[in-house]
Amino acid sequence: MTAIAADSAPVGKTALRRIGRWLRSDWRAAAALAYLGLLLVLALSAPVIAPYSPIAQDINAMLQDPNAAHWLGTDDLGRDTLSRLIYGAPISLFASFLAVSVGLLLGVPIGLCAGYLGGWVDAMISRVIETMMSFPGIVLDIGVTGALGIGLINAMIAVGIVFAPEFARLTRSQTMLVRHELYVDAARSFGASPLRIMLRHILPNAFQPVLVQTTILLAIALLVEASLSFVGLGIQPPYPSWGAMLARAYADMDIEPAQMYPPGLAILLTALAFNALGEALRTALDRGSNSSVGEI
């Protein structure tokens, strides 16, 4: 019995106990959660723990190898790489959460309406979802960012818009599964409004798959933020995000190649943690809902 929240039990003591049991049984999930928790603490306390300002330049300490004063070396403007890495954490994490939040807020209501209302509304929304998913994600991100104007917030809103059809499709299919269930008919016969039925009776069923999708899209958002900031469409100088740090490291690759490794590893580990958490959640929820053997 390692499943968590197989039925929609109210969040309370039992849920917490189940999560605890799940984390003890799945070391991947525990490690990923521990890493992400640590990263969050690091990100929130960046001003306290970072040894230098992330934007303070020092012409006497340009492109240094790791040393006692600068543990991870310095970039081409003499800025401390460790400090930029620490200050980059809240920026990169904020960007990922912003993109996924925009995707959730747009996609879930649209998918709920399509799945519950059905008919021509569903047909139309489904066509739009299918069309949007035909665009390569980053290409659309770049186009929408170009239109909205470059910068981190606009870029992440663009990524959120691109995520929306994924959430909409998932919510729609979950809604279709339960919209003719007895308890939904019962609610309807009691005179509950469509809005109330959707929010109170149908939406909770979509919670688990949407949670898994959210976790996995956080990893993708992090990678896309790094890509967009790397090419200059995301965060603007002098502020650090891990992608922007890679852009600087790229410019000085022939002189100080080591500069590319700290931000690259930070992106890799964080994306890996989000992905591992998502996969572990999916396995646990699958096991809980239909006791099938969870694959990978």
Q: Binding residues for another protein, per CB under 8 A?
A: 127-128, 130-132, 134-140, 142-150, 219, 223, 226-227, 230-233, 246, 249-250, 253-254, 257, 260, 264, 267-268, 271-272, 274-276, 279, 295-296
**What are the CA-CA distances from residue 80 to residues 60, 72, 238, 260 (Å)?**
12, 7, 13, 14
* CB of residue 98 to another protein, shortest distance in Å: 17
Which of 40/139 has CB closer to another protein? Answer: 139
Cβ nearer to another protein, comparing 144 with 184: 144
Residue 210 · residue 167 · CB < 8 Å: yes
Task: Please identify, using beta-carbon distances, which residue of 145 and 175 lies nearer to another protein.
Answer: 145
Q: Give the C-alpha distances (Å, rounded to integers) separating 35 from 28, 74, 234, 271.
A: 11, 25, 25, 11
CB of 157 to another protein, least distance (A): 10
CB of 257: closest distance to another protein in angstroms?
4
Least distance in Å: CB of 110 to another protein?
A: 15
DSSP classification of residue 257:
G
Residues 260, 246 contacting (CB under 8 angstroms): yes
Q: How far is the CB of 96 from another protein (least distance, A)?
A: 13
**Nearest CB to another protein, comparing residues 42 and 148:** 148
Residue with tokens 């809240």: 90
Looking at this protein, which amino acid is placed at residue 95? A
| Helix extents (H) in 72-189 | 81-117, 119-134, 137-148, 152-178, 182-189
Cα four-point dihedral sign 16, 18, 20, 26: negative
Give whichever of 129 and 198 is closer to another protein, judged by the CB atom.
129
